[in-house]
Amino acid sequence: MSIFDSSLEPIKRMRRKARERRLLATREVREMLERRFGCDPNVFDHSPLSFRPEVQGAEASRATEGLNSGVGVLIVHGFTGSPHSMRPVAEHFAALGYPVEMPLLAGHGPRWSDMRLTTYRDWLSSVESAYLRLAGEGLQVVVIGLSMGGTLAVNLSARLPVLGTAIINPYVVDVNPLMRHAGVVSRLLPALKSVGSDIAIPGVSEGAYRLTPTASVYQLHLLGAETRKLLPYLKAPVLYLRSLGDHTVSDSSHKYFLEHCSVPVEFRWLTRSYHVATLDYDAEYVLTSLQDFVTAITHDLPPAPTDCITPLPSGPYSIPRLPSSRIGAYPVQRSPQPKGPL
């Protein structure tokens, strides 16, 4: 350092380098998202996705990882969001040859007012219908969910036979104790500000509702209360991806889940992303982690069961005693993600 340099120059130089790394990482992730979406990632596609691989000879069959695995992937988006937030995940597994179902949850889509008329049971029904489409083809199902989609994935996995469950920043515990009173508040205040698009990359959005129906917040509370009771009934291994910079779901959710879940959990930190990690700096790491998880649990997979599908009851839920899944050898792992460019 020269005597002519400012005493703050080393700090300024470090900040410039950090800013350059952030810009580089942002550009790389944006390019990845554009490749995944085939266009600008902020051109929103709220439509559901249902994909089945086409067999085009033995060579093509051997070239795709999921084609002959007997496994289907069910992908669930989050609260006030749409399949747009999970489309990179769905297209990744479709490209690998896995049958994929990614439903649009009831009440979700272009208008926030549509959501006011739905309950959490309607959301569960949307997920179960997609599950039955896969299971009805003799496929064993891996469920992947983001945010409330993770809650729905856990709820489904506790009641129906699944091969594994992967959850990304799931809601488990109320972030605000007033959520339990949202049903009453909704009579006076029908909508709240948006809770979507918590993404670290500047300018990237998940296309969530601009307003959140207050009545739906109460339904989210009811879903969380029911799902917490179901945690002891999980029987398949779980991959839990958690963002350090999440501004939507509190740490109480992952702490509660890890304390009350009785099956093996592979817990991984996402160090560079906010809540919607599938569209954030850790997007590629999320895809790699999900693919590794699915590959690990499908190794030497037994034939898919065809006689143990339990339909969703119309009244209060009863908890079916399902046959044991092959979960004993899957390791519990709580290792942080390797440091990235940020």
Residue 209 parent element (H or E): none
Task: Retrieve residue 182's tokens.
Answer: 């949202």
Are 196 and 208 in contact by the 8 Å Cβ rule? The answer is yes
Task: Retrieve residue 292's tokens.
Answer: 């590794």
The rounded distance, in Å, linking the Cα atoms of 117 and 216 is 8
Helices 283-297 and 9-37: crossing angle, nearest 10°? 50
| Residues tagged active-site | 147, 246, 275
147-153-155 Cα angle (round to 5): 110
Task: Retrieve residue 206's tokens.
Answer: 């998940």
How far is CA 115 from each of CA 91, 186, 308, rounded to the nearest angstrom? Answer: 26, 13, 32
The rounded distance, in Å, linking the Cα atoms of 50 and 149 is 17
Task: Retrieve residue 121's tokens.
Answer: 């049971």
- Exposed, middle or buried, 50 (CB in 10 Å: 0-12/13-18/19+)? middle
DSSP structure string for 83-110 = GGGGHHHHHHHHHTT--EEEPPPTT-SS
The rounded distance, in Å, linking the Cα atoms of 135 and 87 is 21
Instruction: Give the chain's count of helices (H) and strands (E).
Output: 9, 10
Task: Retrieve residue 130's tokens.
Answer: 């997609």
Q: Which residues contact 73 (CB under 8 A, 6 or more apart)?
A: 66, 90, 93, 98, 99, 100, 101, 141, 142, 144, 294
